[in-house]
Amino acid sequence: MNEDKAPLMKRKDVWIILAVLLVAVVGMTVVWLSGRGANVSRARIFLGSGSEPYQVVNLNEDQVIEIDQGSGVVNHIEVKDGAIRMLDSTCPDKRCVYQGEMSAENYEQRAMRHWIVCLPNQVTIELALEEER
């Protein structure tokens, strides 16, 4: 009689383990899908240390935005195919340009996530994440 119970207990253990694994995989998939910013459709451009956006940009409308702050301080921001990037800047090191494009599909893999920053010219671009979730 004890021999019959041992295989049954092992079978139950296998079913429990499979159920826990299934729940874990489903949970990880839900978290991964909900964490993606697939519905992000806007970005905000800030100048200086202001808390109000200089401009809110629709990522579905291709355009080039020129920000001329006078005294030769100019940034060009490109919106194309649902992504935004600093196209050009008069800053000395061009780190903002080298940050590349930012979109709903790639912001989680970027070093600065949902930000592009030009420190010398004080221009900041932020994906509008909180409004989309």
Residues 6+ apart with CB under 8 A from 39: 104, 132, 133
Question: How far apart (Å, rounded) are the C-alpha atoms in residues 23 and 95?
Answer: 43
Which pTM was predicted? 0.69
Residues 76 and 98 in one domain: yes
Residues 48 and 103 in one domain: yes
CATH number at residue 101: 2.60.320.10
Tell me which residue has tokens 């070093």.
Answer: 111
8 A C-beta contact, residue 43 and residue 82 = no
Residues 68 and 20 in one domain: no
Question: How far apart (Å, rounded) are the C-alpha atoms in residues 50 and 61?
Answer: 25
In a domain, 61, yes or no: yes
Residues 30 and 53 in one domain: no
Q: How far is CA 15 from CA 21, 27, 28, 101, 126, in A?
A: 10, 18, 20, 47, 47
Residues 15 and 55 in one domain: no
Tens of pLDDT, residues 44-98: 999 998 889 999 999 999 999 999 999 999 999 999 999 999 999 999 999 999 9
